[in-house]
Structures are given as structure tokens and as C-alpha cells.
Amino acid sequence: MRLRSVLLFTVTVLVAGQTLPAWAESPSVPAQPALDQAIEQYIRSHPEVIEQALQSLEGKRQKGEKIRIRQAIAAHQEELLRDPASPVSGNLNGDVTVIEFFDYRCGYCKRVASAVTQLQKDEPGVRVVYKDFPILGEVSVFGARAALAAREQGKHQAFHEAMLASENELTQEEVLAIAQRVGLDVKKLESDLHAPEWQSAIDRNHALAKLLGISGTPGFVVGGEVYPGALELPGLKALVRQARTKR
């Protein structure tokens, strides 16, 4: 029965046009032992059939997941685009929004930070939404809470860019030292970062990332699609152009 199941699986997922053995096309099906032997012989003679079936199945799985993610993006537009706890920069009324899920301790996030900043200079119609998504330990969470709390002093963007530009290991002490350098009142920041709304915002971002299949950083959402990984400036500009075309 196991061999028969393998064949049925193979035939089900393969594209139309696969040549089957003569016994599979015969109106009279052989007895079980003979059928099992014929199936085994066919698979041994055509091992590529299994590979093709697995490739087809994986293709269908990926297509289904892409559709699911698009539907999730459409269903959570308000949280993605207009969560009041998510910092925004660039053109606040821009025609294209770039959403970035990031972690201040992520090396790839640091690598793309200058590209995200430059994008806003080169593309005046772009709006950027920052989704703090700390996944690299307690210091990442501390940095995220501190950055969100910096909004209380009107210093989020400067603090955000300085943390991502720092070449030092990000510790709690380093986070506060960077805060000092960009002109934040550190004592106020240390008090403000413990406000529960910052952790609530981070928790919402984690839930959104899970829905969108984002498990690492950075992850971008542009024009209704998710793009994981470190995107350089030309790639970001291409996504913006593509999003405008689809509007």
C-alpha cells in the first residue's frame, strides 16, 4: 500500500503530460502484489518522477503561502501603515510606504540603514514606517523601547540612525551613551522607556511579523508584498517604482 500511495502522490502532483506505464493506463488494474512490483519497478526506472513531484508540491506550497501573505497584508493595513506607536519618517503624505521590520543589533539592518535614509532623500514621495522587531535578546528589546521612548523628546530619527550607525557592540550602556550624544535627556529617557505602551507596540510588531512570515531582520513590506533580507538602495528604489506602477 505504501508503494501505491507513492504513485498516487506522484501522479496527483505532477503536471499533465507525464507518460505513465502501460499498466497505469489499462482499464484492468493488476492484483496488489503485481501492482506493487510494477510501481516499484517504474519508480526505480524513473526516479526523476519523485523529484518532479516534490518540486511541483513545493511550488504549490510557495504559491499558496504568497497568496496567504498578500491577504494578511490587505487585512492588516491599519496596523501596518497607521499604528500611532510606529515611528514614521520621509514624506508623511507619500504615495508609497516602505515598512521595515528591524532590530538595532542586526548587522544586516545596520548595512541597509544608510540605504533607507538615502531612499527618503532621493524619493521625496516615499513614506517610511519603522517596525521595531527585536529578536536578538534583551539588549535589542532595551534599544527598541529606548528608541520608541525617544519620540517623547522629538529625537527618534536622530537616535534611530545613530544606533544603527554605531560600530560598537550594542549594550544598554552603549544605547544610553548614544542617547547622550544625540542630545537626549538620558534620565528622562530611562524613565520613559519603561512605559507599557512601548512593549505593547513591540508585541504588536511581533504578531504582525508572524502573520507575514517574517522571521528575521530586516524585512520590508512594499506595495502589498513582503521582501525579506538586506536590500540595497537600487533594490529599494526598484520596489518603490514597482509599487507606483501597480497603483
- Phi first, then psi: what are they for 195, rounded to 5°? -60, 135
CA nearest neighbour of 209 among 65, 88, 100:
100
Clarify whether residues 90 and 67 are in a common domain.
Answer: no
Question: Tell me, what's the pLDDT at 21?
Answer: 52
CA nearest neighbour of 102 among 144, 138, 162, 142:
144
CA nearest neighbour of 168 among 153, 102, 156, 176:
176
Clarify whether residues 60 and 141 are in a common domain.
Answer: no
The proportion of the chain whose per-residue pLDDT surpasses 90, expressed as a percent, equals: 71
Question: Tell me, what's the pLDDT at 47?
Answer: 77
pLDDT band at 56 (very low <50, low <70, confident <90, very high): confident
d(CA 144, CA 135) in angstroms, rounded, equals 10
Clarify whether residues 101 and 47 are in a common domain.
Answer: no
Question: Tell me, what's the pLDDT at 16?
Answer: 41
Asked if residue 129 has pLDDT above 70, the reply is: yes
Clarify whether residues 68 and 113 are in a common domain.
Answer: no
H-type alpha helices, 1-106: 2-13, 22-25, 32-45, 48-75, 77-82
pLDDT band at 37 (very low <50, low <70, confident <90, very high): confident
Clarify whether residues 24 and 130 are in a common domain.
Answer: no
- The pTM assigned to this predicted structure is 0.76
For 109-128, the pLDDT digits (tens) are: 999 999 999 999 999 999 99
Question: Tell me, what's the pLDDT at 97?
Answer: 97
The boundaries of the domain holding residue 187 are: 78-246
CA nearest neighbour of 199 among 106, 134, 128:
134
Indicate the range of 3-12, 132-141, 220-229 predicted with least confidence: 3-12
Domain end residue (candidates: 57, 75, 93)? 75
Handedness of CA 240, 118, 95, 98 (dihedral sign): positive
